Amino acid sequence: GDSVTQMEGPVTLSEEAFLTINCTYTATGYPSLFWYVQYPGEGLQLLLKATKADDKGSNKGFEATYRKETTSFHLEKGSVQVSDSAVYFCALSPQGNTGGFKTIFGAGTRLFVKA
Amino acid sequence: DTAVSQTPKYLVTQMGNDKSIKCEQNLGHDTMYWYKQDSKKFLKIMFSYNNKELIINETVPNRFSPKSPDKAHLNLHINSLELGDSAVYFCASSQDLADQYFGAGTRLSVL
């Protein structure tokens, strides 16, 4: 079945460091791919998404590129801030099912950013 | 004005009790969801309703019963609570197949 694998955390970085959180997926066809962020005590918020191969999603300085050949959607940010400390979830929706109904989430990666 | 609101935020109860969690969305969406997040932050879908009709019902004990009185509400009733039901429960909504909006969660602790 479809699945999402993301790197285990926690990831601890100093402010202004470069961030990469790896995410790979297993799915048939061309699923839509997402990154959600969960700040402490809050629900998940959509951070960015990509709906077809080679698309780049970006928001708030974060970006991720849909790589069909490596079935990956790695999250990157050039310079993290303390306020980026949160749990990040990679997710997919099967082809023809963008975002709703059966979205499959990865296990989440906790990011700590130190001042 | 909160888009997806859940009540209560915290729920502490004894094993064997019956409890309900309410969810309301003011986004005009036609699809609503319940997710369970365990202590390791793993998020698993439980139910999904589209226009008040159940469309996803994952392998969830039948002690859990969702109820959708209208498109804006999806409540979760849990009978005979067990220790393993302790988790954070999230409600979410979306318009058809679009992006999901999540509530802030209900932390359930079963003693």
pLDDT at B1 > cutoff 80: no
Question: Shortest CB distance from B99 goes to which of A42, A46, A107?
Answer: A46
Give the residue from chain A lying closest to B47, CA to CA: A101
Residue B23: pLDDT band with limits 50, 70, 90? very high
From A78's Cα to the closest Cα of chain B, the distance in A is 26
Residue A72 has a pLDDT of: 97
pLDDT tens profile B26-43:
999 999 999 999 888 888
Looking at every residue in chain B, the average pLDDT score rounds to 91
pLDDT at A98 over 80: no
- E strands of A7-108, at which residues? 11-14, 19-21, 23-26, 32-38, 44-50, 56-59, 62-65, 75-77, 86-93, 104-105
pLDDT tens, position by position, A41-52: 888 999 999 999
At residue B99 the predicted structure's pLDDT band, cuts being 50, 70 and 90, is confident
The per-residue pLDDT for B97 is: 65
pLDDT of A95 reads: 75
Kindly determine whether residue A101 and residue B40, on different chains, have CB atoms separated by under 8 Å.
no
User: Looking at residue A81, what DSSP letter applies?
Assistant: -
Percent with pLDDT over 90 in chain A? 76
Residues from chain B that touch A107, judged by Cβ atoms under 8 A, are: 40-42
Instruction: Please count the residue pairs, one from chain A and one from chain B, whose beta carbons lie less than 8 angstroms apart.
Output: 64
3-state secondary structure of A102: coil
Rounded to an integer, the average pLDDT of A79-103 is: 84
At residue A99, the pLDDT reads: 55
Which residues from chain B sit within 8 angstroms of residue A97, using beta carbons? 97
Chain A residues within an 8 Å CB radius of B101: 46
Q: What is the pLDDT of residue A100?
A: 56
Query: pLDDT, tens digit, for every residue of B42-84?
Result: 888 898 888 888 887 777 889 999 999 999 999 999 999 999 9
Distance CA A32, CA A97 (A): 8
Smallest CA–CA distance from A88 into chain B, residue: B41
Whether A28 shows a pLDDT value over 70: the answer reads yes
Q: How far from B50 is each of B22, B45, B53, CA to CA, in Å?
A: 17, 14, 5
pLDDT band at A97 (very low <50, low <70, confident <90, very high): low
Are B77 and B65 in contact, with CB atoms under 8 Å apart? yes
Contacts of A90 in chain B (CB under 8 A): none
The residue written with tokens 């993290």 in the block is A80
* Interchain pair A44, B97: CB under 8 A: no
Whole-number pLDDT of residue A26:
94
Average per-residue pLDDT for chain A: 92
**Which stretches of chain B sit within 8 Å of chain A by CB?**
4, 31, 40-45, 48, 50, 55-56, 90, 92, 94-105
